[in-house]
Amino acid sequence: MPVDHRYQVVALVLQGGGALGSYQAGVYEGLAEADVHPNWVAGISIGALNTAIIAGNPPGKRVERLKEFWQTICQPPYLPPSPWSNLQTTQHWPEAWLTLLNGFEAWRALTEGQKGFFVPRNPATAVGPSTPDKVSFYDTTPLKSTLEALVDFDRLNDARQMRVSVGAVNVRTGNFVYFDNTKERLRAEHFMASGALPPGFPAVEIDGEYYWDGGIVSNTPLQQVLTAEPRKNALIFQVDLWSARGALPTDLPSVALRQKDIQFSSRTRTITEFMSGMQEYRHLLRELMELVPEAERKSNPWYRRAEEASCDRLFNVIHLIYQGKGCEGDCKDYQFGALTMRDHWRSGLADIQHSLQRPGWLDMPSADQPLVTHDIHRK
């Protein structure tokens, strides 16, 4: 599917959400099938791990490597998988059975960990005085080996092929930071830091500082892409794993689920609405600047300031949001069962396929509406 050549940036923006992240892998598979190739991938938490797999492999290998990654981390680390893990779908299962299945798989993740991802620590070392990289319930050392086996970091750090940005929080200062391959060389630790959600996972040390999951401050890197300078025409695929909108909770488990949805959705629509207004003002300023006489433009300092603030760039945001199921409960972000993983993947693939089929959705926005958004689930 051809993308308008006037888009200087084609970005894939990946939110955090733990086990729900296979939805993002399905979205990427649909983009690859349509021959839509991002030149900037930005992620936080599990979105950062998917970012590493995508950016660290050639286009023809990315879907294969994503499958290998998810098939690995959706297995128990030591004991055999659950007997139903090889089934392909739960489409016709009663919801009560699915609720029990989800609860069992989440319990296994909590008690056993996940292969190539994390394993429980000795309880004594998890709670006693120690260094920041060991104060956690789980040890994520296996994840480093998994990333180094599946990611070519030389390719990932070649910003000429693809820009890579992942968000994390400095534990000491509380400041949110982006690790970016246009500014530094990224290693497995940068992606692990972006997904180091306490107290489950430990802080990750990078150049003498310790970092936690970026989702503590903001779970979506959309604003980073929209505000990057120099501003460029951009087609952005924003893939969220939490929905800000949902049903009112009627019991304590649904309260916990709704709280997570609201907290980790990170106000994606608020960001797009704010940026849409800002971009309209920048366009308006640029039109007004045309009324300034040519002789005044070079000497007037206010004109020069206005020139810096104005912008005629255009942004198109294709928003994809994972739609939760009633049987998942508040454990859906750590329910790593292989059967559920495949369901999430298929949902992502179906959503991007339907989005790409909508007439005009990839078209360049017009100057009178410089930032547009599309969402197949929006009513």
- CA separation for the pair 55, 74 (Å, rounded): 21
Question: Residue 363 pLDDT > 80, yes or no?
Answer: yes
Residue 304 makes CB contacts below 8 A (sequence gap 6+) with none
Mean pLDDT within 38-67: 98
Question: Residue 127 pLDDT > 70, yes or no?
Answer: no
Mean pLDDT within 75-103: 83
pLDDT value of residue 263: 81
Coarse DSSP helix, strand, coil percentages of the chain, rounded to the nearest 5 percent? 45, 15, 40
User: Tokens 């009663």 map to which residue?
Assistant: 94
The full set of domain ranges for the chain reads: 9-375
Query: Do β-strands 234-240 and 315-321 pair in parallel, antiparallel, or remain unpaired?
Result: parallel
pLDDT value of residue 301: 81
Cβ atoms of 70 and 26 closer than 8 Å: no
Sign of the alpha-carbon dihedral angle for 145, 147, 149, 153? negative
333 counts as catalytic? no
9-375 belongs to which CATH class? alpha beta
Mean pLDDT within 221-242: 91
pLDDT band at 279 (very low <50, low <70, confident <90, very high): low
89: phi then psi, degrees, rounded to nearest 5: -155, 155
Q: Which of 22, 45, 165, 265 is catalytic?
A: 45
pLDDT value of residue 93: 77
Q: Which of 139, 180, 213, 261 is catalytic?
A: 213
Question: Residue 287 pLDDT > 80, yes or no?
Answer: no
Sign of the alpha-carbon dihedral angle for 137, 140, 142, 143? positive
Cβ atoms of 212 and 196 closer than 8 Å: yes
DSSP class of residue 255 equals: H
- Look up the pTM and report it: 0.91
Cβ atoms of 257 and 335 closer than 8 Å: no
pLDDT value of residue 253: 81
Question: Residue 369 pLDDT > 90, yes or no?
Answer: no
DSSP class of residue 301 equals: H
- CA separation for the pair 100, 90 (Å, rounded): 13
Which H, E and C letters describe 309-372, residue by residue? HCCCCCEEEEEEECCCCCCCHHHHHHCCCHHHHHHHHHHHHHHHHHHHHCCCCCCCCCCCCCEE
Q: What is the CA radius of gyration of the chain?
A: 22
pLDDT band at 51 (very low <50, low <70, confident <90, very high): very high
% of the chain with per-residue pLDDT over 90 = 63
pLDDT value of residue 128: 64
pLDDT value of residue 288: 74
- CA separation for the pair 308, 96 (Å, rounded): 58
213 counts as catalytic? yes
Question: Residue 280 pLDDT > 80, yes or no?
Answer: no
Residue 147 makes CB contacts below 8 A (sequence gap 6+) with 49, 52, 188, 191, 192
- CA separation for the pair 48, 45 (Å, rounded): 5
Question: Residue 98 pLDDT > 80, yes or no?
Answer: yes
Mean pLDDT within 38-56: 98
pLDDT value of residue 42: 98
Cβ atoms of 211 and 169 closer than 8 Å: yes
- CA separation for the pair 29, 62 (Å, rounded): 8
Mean pLDDT within 189-216: 97
pLDDT band at 126 (very low <50, low <70, confident <90, very high): low
DSSP class of residue 286 equals: H
Question: Which one is predicted more confidently, 162 or 299?
Answer: 162
Question: Which one is predicted more confidently, 315 or 304?
Answer: 315
User: How wide is the angle at C-alpha 175 spanned by C-alphas 174 and 177, nearest 5°?
Assistant: 135
pLDDT value of residue 130: 80
